[in-house]
Structure 1
Amino acid sequence: MKKKLFKITLPIFAIIILVLSACSSNSGNANSASSGEGNGAADSFPEKNIDGIIMWGEGGATDIIARTLAPIVEDEIDGSLVMQNKAGAAGAIATQDVYDRPADGHTLLFGAENPNLYQVLDISDRSYQEDFVPISVIANSYAGIIVKEDSPFETIEDLVDFALNKPNDLIFGTTGEGGLPNVVLAMLQNELGSEFKTVPYDGEGPVTTALLGGEVDVTSVTVSAAQDYVESGDFRMLAVVNNEPIDALPDVPAITDAYPEINKYLPWGPFQAVFAHKDTPADVVEKLSESFQAAIETDEFKATLANLGMEYMNISGQEAMDYVDQNRSTAAWMLYEAGETVKSPEEFDIPKVAE
C-alpha cells in the first residue's frame, strides 16, 4: 500500500514543483519590469496621451519651452502631448504629482533647476537624483537682474549700493524658496552683503507682471522671460548673471564686470529639462529620449532657443545627470553659506564645487 501511494504522489509532487518554478519566473520578470529594465514596453508606446506637467505657471521660460517643443515631439513620437501647468511650492507640487503617477512614461515633468534644492530647503523629499531619470536637458540659460524702465537704478552698482545703505527697503520679487531669484539673492548677499525684502510669486510670468505693475522694485528671471520686456522698453536689465555678455542682449553687462568676486559661482544658471519617473522601463526612456533629441535638433526649435537667449544643449543619459548634479552642488552650497537653507548639503552627500 505504501509503495502504491508513493507512485501516485511522486508525479503530483513533480507537477507542484513545476508550477512553483513558473510562478517564481513570472515574479522575477515582474520585478525586472518594475525596476525599469527594458521589457518591450516601447513597442506599443505611447498607448494613450502623454501628460506633460509644467512645474511653473504660464508665461515663464519653462512654459514657453515646453509648449513650443511639445508639437514637434508629437510628430516624432506619433502621439499626443497634453500640456498642463501645475504651479506652486517652487515646482514641488508638479514634481510630486509626476512621481505619484504610474511609471510608464505617459507622464513627464517639464522642469527647471528648482528640485535640486528641495532637500536642503526642506520643501520636499523629491530630488532629480533619487526619483527621476532625465529624458533630456534641453537648454540652459542665464539669469538677468531687472527693474522697470522708470526705476532710479541705472546700473547694478546703483541697486547694490542702495541695498547696502538701506537694508530691506527694496522689495525683490521671487518665485518662492528654491527659485532662481533666491539663488541670485544668495550670491548678492554672500559676496556683497546686500539685503532685500522678498515677496514670492508662482513663477516667472507672475513675478514679471508684479514688476510691471510696481508691486516689487526688482527681480531676477531668465533672460528668455525678460527679453521681450527689455526690447519693448518696459524693463531695464541691469546685469546678466554670467562672466561675459550674452549674444541675445549684448549691451547688458555681465555681473562680473562690476563684481568679479561672483565669478567663483559661475558658470551657473537655470536650465530646462524633461524627466520621467525613475522606474519607467528603460526602453520607453530610450524611445522618449530619441524623440525629444530629434525634436530639439530641428532648425525650428533651435531658432526658438536662440530667440529666447538660451543655449542649446540636447543631452540625455549620464551626461544629463552629471550636468544636473553640478548645478545642484553650486546652488545648494551657495544658499547654505548664505544661511538660507534648513539643512546642510552634506546631509544629502552633495559635494561642494571647488572654487
Structure 2
Amino acid sequence: MAGNTEVVDGRRRTGLALLALGILAPLSTLATRHARAAGFPARPVTLIVPFAAGGATDTLVRTLADGASKHLGQTVVVENRPGAAGVLGANVVARARPDGYTLTIMPEPVFRLPHLQKTQFDPMQDFTYVIHLTGYSLGVSVRAESPWKSWPEMVDHARRHPGKISYGTTGTNSTMHVTMEEVSQKLGIRLNHVPYKGESEIITAMMGGHIDLGVTAGGIGPYVDSDKARWLVLWTAGRSRRWPAVPTLRDVGLDIVSTSPFGIAGPRNMDPQAVQVLHDAFRKALHEPAMQQLLERLDQEMAYLDSSGYAAFARQRHDSQGKLVKRLGLSATP
C-alpha cells in the first residue's frame, strides 16, 4: 500500500511540475474556453453584411438575424460594410477576437480575390465556418423603357456597338462581374462595367437610366412584377418558380450557372461549443416561416450546410475560383 501511495504522490508532483512548465496549459485553456462558452452569448452578436442596406442580401440577413436573436437570447446586430466586392466583412472578422461576437456573411469573392491580389485574410486559415445558408437567383434585368425585349436582342446590339452597353454589379471581380465577363467572352461581345456597393444601388441606377443593364438578385422582383422592369436572362440551373417564362443562360446556349452561394463565418480558433450555439440558432431561424417566405419571394433556394460541411465546401470553392481566375485571365484591376 505504501508503494502505491508513493506512485500516486509521484504522479501528482509530476503533474504539478508539468503545469508549472506550461505543458498542461492547453488543457487549462480548453477548460476555460468551455466554461466561457457555457454562458455564450452574454451580449449582442454582430453580423456583418458586406453590401449596402436595402438589397436582397441585407433583407435576407436581417430576417435571419431577427429569428436567431430569439434562439440566442441576445440580439444579432446587422452591420453593413459595403464595397470591395463584398470582402470588407472578411477583413474585419479575420482580425477579430475568436469569442463568437463578431461574424460576417461570406460571399464568393472571399474565395476568389486571394487568387488575384494580396488580401488581409486567408480563407483557408483565418475563419471558422459556422453555417452555409443559400445562393442567389442572379440574372440580367432592364427597365421597362429599354429597347431590348429579349436577351438575343441585347446581344445583337452589343455585337454591333462594342463597349456601348453599360451594366452594374456589386464590384470589380464580384461574382456578378466575373460571370458577365465569362458570358461576354463566350459571346464575343464587349460591355461597359460600372461597379456599385450593393444591389439596391444597382437597381436605383438602372431604374434612373444611369446604366443599361442591372445584374441583380431577387431585389428587382417588385419592379418586374409591377412591369417597371423585366428580366432578360437568369443564371440559375433551371427555370425560376416565380418567373418561369424567363430563360436561363443554358436556355440561350451558354452552359453557365452562377448563384454566388454564401454563409456565415467567424474568426479562426472559435470555441466549438460557441460555434454549435450559433449554428443551431441560425439553423432554426433559417427554417422559420418568415425566412422561408422571404426565400420564396426572392426566388432563392435554401442551401443549408453545417459547420463541417461548410468548411469542406469553402475548400472546394477556393480551389474552383482559382481555376476560374486562370481560365478567364482575370486581374485585380478592371
Scaled by the length of structure 2, the TM-score of the pair is 0.88
Which of 190, 209, 230 does residue 204 from structure 2 map onto?
Answer: 209
What amino acid does structure 1 have at the position aligned with 2:25? S
What amino acid does structure 1 have at the position aligned with 2:65? A
1:186–1:335 Cα contact (<8 Å) kept: no
The 2-side partners of 1:198 and 1:124 are apart by: 23
Partner of 1:348: none
Report whether the alignment pairs 1:302 with 2:297: no
CA gap 1:57/1:33 in 2 versus in 1, 3 angstroms: farther
What amino acid does structure 2 have at the position aligned with 1:189? S
The 2-side partners of 1:229 and 1:61 are apart by: 13
Scaled by the length of structure 1, the TM-score of the pair is 0.83
CA gap 1:277/1:247 in 2 versus in 1, 3 angstroms: same
Partner of 1:126: 121
The 2-side partners of 1:238 and 1:72 are apart by: 34
What amino acid does structure 2 have at the position aligned with 1:22? L
Partner of 1:29: 27
Report whether the alignment pairs 1:176 with 2:174: no
What amino acid does structure 1 have at the position aligned with 2:220? A
SS at match of 1:64: helix
Partner of 1:230: 224
Q: Deviations over 1:303-333 (max 9, x none)?
A: 1111110101222123223334444444443
The 1-side partners of 2:279 and 2:208 are apart by: 41
- Structure 1 vs Structure 2: percent identity of aligned residues? 22
**1:17 Cα deviation after fit:** 7.5
Partner of 1:106: 101
**1:181 Cα deviation after fit:** 2.0
1:92–1:123 Cα contact (<8 Å) kept: no
The 2-side partners of 1:127 and 1:220 are apart by: 28
1:135–1:285 Cα contact (<8 Å) kept: yes
Q: Deviations over 1:158-204 (max 9, x none)?
A: 11122222211111112112313212212212311221111111111
**1:280 Cα deviation after fit:** 0.8
CA RMSD of aligned residues (A): 2.5
Partner of 1:337: 327
Q: Which piece of structure 1 moves more, 309-318 or 119-128?
A: 119-128
The 2-side partners of 1:187 and 1:293 are apart by: 34
The 2-side partners of 1:341 and 1:323 are apart by: 24
2:46–2:77 Cα contact (<8 Å) kept: yes
The 1-side partners of 2:287 and 2:221 are apart by: 23
The 1-side partners of 2:124 and 2:331 are apart by: 19
Partner of 2:3: none
The 1-side partners of 2:106 and 2:81 are apart by: 11
**1:104 Cα deviation after fit:** 0.6
Q: Which piece of structure 1 moves more, 319-328 or 127-136?
A: 319-328
What amino acid does structure 1 have at the position aligned with 2:287? E
Partner of 2:261: 271
Comparing both structures, which one devotes a greater share of its residues to helix? 1
Q: Which piece of structure 1 moves more, 243-252 or 281-290?
A: 243-252
1:173–1:198 Cα contact (<8 Å) kept: yes
Report whether the alignment pairs 1:248 with 2:242: yes
What amino acid does structure 2 have at the position aligned with 1:148? R
Q: Which piece of structure 1 moves more, 24-33 or 93-102?
A: 24-33
CA gap 1:193/1:67 in 2 versus in 1, 3 angstroms: same
The 2-side partners of 1:82 and 1:179 are apart by: 25
Partner of 1:8: none
SS at match of 1:130: coil
The 2-side partners of 1:189 and 1:239 are apart by: 14
Q: Deviations over 1:114-157 (max 9, x none)?
A: 21211123162424332212211111222111111111111111
1:116–1:128 Cα contact (<8 Å) kept: yes
**1:285 Cα deviation after fit:** 0.6
**1:87 Cα deviation after fit:** 1.0
Partner of 1:290: 280
**1:102 Cα deviation after fit:** 0.7
SS at match of 1:256: coil
1:187–1:334 Cα contact (<8 Å) kept: no
1:105–1:284 Cα contact (<8 Å) kept: yes
CA gap 1:18/1:134 in 2 versus in 1, 3 angstroms: closer
2:63–2:290 Cα contact (<8 Å) kept: no
- In structure 1, list runs of 5 or more residues that go unmatched: 1-14, 344-355
The 2-side partners of 1:63 and 1:49 are apart by: 18
- In structure 2, list runs of 5 or more residues that go unmatched: 1-11
Which of 252, 255, 269 does residue 258 from structure 1 map onto?
Answer: 252
The 1-side partners of 2:220 and 2:268 are apart by: 33
Which of 72, 84, 88 does residue 77 from structure 1 map onto?
Answer: 72
CA gap 1:246/1:328 in 2 versus in 1, 3 angstroms: farther
